[in-house]
Structure 1
Amino acid sequence: MKLVVLGLSLSSSWGNGHATTFRALLQAFASRGHDVIFLERDVPWYAGQRDLADPGWCRLAFYRDLAALERWAPEVAAADAVVVGSYVPDGVAAGQWVQRTARGTTAFYDIDTPVTLAKLERGDCDYLSPELIPGYDVYLSFTGGPTLDRLERHYRSPAARALYCSVDPRAYRSTGAAKRWDLSYLGTYSDDRQPPLTRLLIDAARAAPAKRFVVAGPQYPAGIDWPANVQRIEHLPPAEHAAFYSASRWTLNVTRADMIARGWSPSVRLFEAAACATPIVSDWWEGLDQLFAPDREIVLAATAAGVLAALDRADATAIGEAGRARVLAAHTADHRAAELERYLGEAAAVRAEAA
């Protein structure tokens, strides 16, 4: 299969979770014998923070603006499938161009489905419009559950399919590093993620000054009052994620409000941490128990006291190993690449039958 992807970023993981998602998925997809071209808008905030210059397993190319996309019209027209990702700059216009130009299957890959739907409902989404959705043969969603039915019934998607994030177990596994922190958190700052981060990590750190905490990720405001036992790491490139998790006795997962409201929206950090056999303490959202077994593969907490109770559990190692086993059985990049191949093939069959 010849696949063209227009995505937010493959070259830079700075301040976004898209790059690591695309890297794992597309490398696994290419390993199944497919040819991949990734087209990335050349923007200064990623140009200065690139941590993947040459993927090797796909062709990575940059374009200045919408007009420059015309250079790639022959590849888009000849591709068996073209995928447009969420948060692509000028994504509505880019999607319209893809739907006009492509002769093969077209798909929208929404790495931010709950945020996208909230934006569509407010009428302020600049990378997708309700009119564009029916023109994509398949809507690939980071969110499963009832959201898929809403995409088909309300937004008239011909086919909405869950394509969750995943992990490359070759890159994410325990490094055997000595434990430096009792609880870690890895994630870019977000207004609606900060309250649960404050409640579950910062308040826990204040209540347990003898324990060691760390928060890694960019864009946190200067005014946050970090306790003395919370270390800050401004940016952690993907190559250092496995060592980071391996040095954590536990790691925290907190979820954006829109994703909690929709449910069935796992973060890539869940799978990455679990693949390193690091036990996870998480907030709750509908559908989480379909991915990990609570109290056996993951621990749930709603308060700082609940987090501190988790940190004192004697079965932390067993929980981490059980979480890793679950990820290896169902949530690797190879699993997602096979699903992507199947979804695109099914959409192509529907197009052929209609023709």
Structure 2
Amino acid sequence: MKIAFYGSSLLSSYWNGAATYYRGILKALAAHGHQITFYEPDAFDRQQHRDIDPPEWAKVVVYPATVEAMRGVLAEARAADVVVKANGVGVFDAELLDGVIAQARPGALKLFWDVDAAATLDEMRGDADHPVRRALPDLDMVLTYGGGPPVVNAYEGFGARECVPVYNALDPETHHPVAPDPRFACDLAFLGNRLPDREARVEEFFLRAAADAPDAAFLIGGNGWHDKAMPANVRDIGHVGTREHNAFNCTPRAVLNVARDSMANVGFSPATRVFEAAGAAACLITDAWEGIEQFLVPDEEVLVARDGQDVADHLAALTGERAQAIGEAALRRVLAEHTYELRGVQVDAILRDRAAQGREAA
């Protein structure tokens, strides 16, 4: 099938945490014979911070962040069998969603792919005229980055015909064990952009842990932390491109995952960082959220913390041998059950099944 995908960016992870997810899912779909065109705006300096070249498995169209250019790329939706609007493009989100519905040819599948479903649903609850609420009757289905039964039930309660979570996963060709890099040497590392709905949790799970363990070395990567007050044992290194994620995960004694508020509250929403770290055989400490057992076994494949004190306690008890054992167990688990190849099988089956249903109905 020809897929027209309107998202934030495939080429750049700069202020774009969904990049790894898009790359993994769409690369896997291309392996099933789908022809993918990804439309991304030239916005937020992402094109100046590309971390991959245009891939062979997708055509990428970068358009100026103007109304005229947006309308031009929307017109190309008419040639697609499947049109997808992802949330969080950052410019013209409402117009793009309305546009893909209006421009899709009769019989084409129209999907909304929500990579921040918990936050979107919170917005919808507070706004009866929210663009996604208005669009649901005209969409064939909603796919989400995660969220489990709470997100499925909420979307279907708002009128979605169908909602299916397609979880983050691992592309072992991209994320895998590598040699340590002295630039990332520390006891605990955290990688994530500074966002309003995550900052308080980073303060609790990372900065409080650093304050409670003054003899340990902590490392924080991601955009926006440069002017944040931090304990003296925390080193801020700014944006870390995806090419460096393997070394970032492999070098520290442990790495930390901190969910955003909405995802932690809903549960069943493992971040891409979880699978990147597991793919690198890193020892992962994660904040507690419902459903973690669906992806990794606590105390065997991941360490789970309820607060910053738990993080500090885990770190104090963590020997190099145990960290290695946890990381290797996590790698085995994700290779067996949580790869983008498997997610590609899932989405390919969904698209072919819904297309067949549409033909029968016609």
What TM-score, normalized to structure 2?
0.91
Q: Distance in 2 between matches of 1:172 and 1:98?
A: 33
Q: Distance in 2 between matches of 1:137 and 1:295?
A: 41
Deviation at 1:78, TM superposition (A): 2.4
2:171 corresponding residue in structure 1: 168
Q: Distance in 2 between matches of 1:265 and 1:163?
A: 10
1:161-200 → structure 2 map (5 Å cutoff): 161-177=164-180, 180-200=185-205
Is contact 1:145-1:263 (8 Å) kept?
Answer: no
Amino acid in structure 2 at the alignment position of 1:23: R
Is contact 1:42-1:62 (8 Å) kept?
Answer: yes
Q: Which residues of structure 2 form unaligned runs of 5+?
A: none
Three-state SS of the structure 1 residue aligned to 2:101 is: helix
2:354 corresponding residue in structure 1: 347
Structure 2 counterpart of 1:217, from 216, 222, 233: 222
Report the aligned-residue RMSD.
1.9
Deviation at 1:124, TM superposition (A): 9.3
Amino acid in structure 2 at the alignment position of 1:177: P
1:61 corresponding residue in structure 2: 61
Post-superposition CA distance 1:130-177 (Å, at most 9, x none): 01022111100112222102211x221111001112221111111031
Structure 1 counterpart of 2:137, from 120, 131, 134: 134
1:191-340 → structure 2 map (5 Å cutoff): 191-220=196-225, 222=227, 224-311=228-315, 312-314=317-319, 315-340=322-347
Change (3 A) 1:310 1:48: same
Q: Distance in 2 between matches of 1:331 and 1:350?
A: 28
Q: When the two structures are aligned, how many residues end up with a matched partner?
A: 352
Amino acid in structure 1 at the alignment position of 2:198: R
Change (3 A) 1:191 1:75: closer
Three-state SS of the structure 1 residue aligned to 2:60 is: strand
Is contact 2:121-2:155 (8 Å) kept?
Answer: no
Q: Distance in 2 between matches of 1:167 and 1:110?
A: 19
Three-state SS of the structure 1 residue aligned to 2:15 is: coil
Structure 2 counterpart of 1:97, from 96, 99, 107: 99
Is contact 2:6-2:86 (8 Å) kept?
Answer: yes
Amino acid in structure 1 at the alignment position of 2:81: D
Q: Distance in 1 between matches of 2:42 and 2:181?
A: 39
Q: Distance in 2 between matches of 1:230 and 1:70?
A: 46
- % of aligned pairs identical? 33
Q: Distance in 1 between matches of 2:164 and 2:112?
A: 10
1:25-40 → structure 2 map (5 Å cutoff): 25-40=25-40
Amino acid in structure 1 at the alignment position of 2:171: D
Is contact 2:32-2:348 (8 Å) kept?
Answer: no
Deviation at 1:304, TM superposition (A): 2.9
Deviation at 1:286, TM superposition (A): 1.3
Q: Which residues of structure 1 form unaligned runs of 5+?
A: none
Q: Distance in 2 between matches of 1:261 and 1:204?
A: 21
Deviation at 1:271, TM superposition (A): 0.7
Q: Distance in 2 between matches of 1:208 and 1:227?
A: 10
Deviation at 1:74, TM superposition (A): 6.1
Three-state SS of the structure 1 residue aligned to 2:195 is: coil
Is contact 1:83-1:106 (8 Å) kept?
Answer: yes
Deviation at 1:51, TM superposition (A): 2.3
Three-state SS of the structure 2 residue aligned to 1:320 is: helix
Three-state SS of the structure 2 residue aligned to 1:323 is: helix
1:8 corresponding residue in structure 2: 8
Is contact 1:5-1:83 (8 Å) kept?
Answer: yes
Moved more, 158-167 or 195-204: 195-204
Q: Distance in 2 between matches of 1:328 and 1:34?
A: 24
Q: Distance in 1 between matches of 2:279 and 2:194?
A: 23
What TM-score, normalized to structure 1?
0.93
Deviation at 1:328, TM superposition (A): 1.0
Is contact 2:74-2:99 (8 Å) kept?
Answer: no
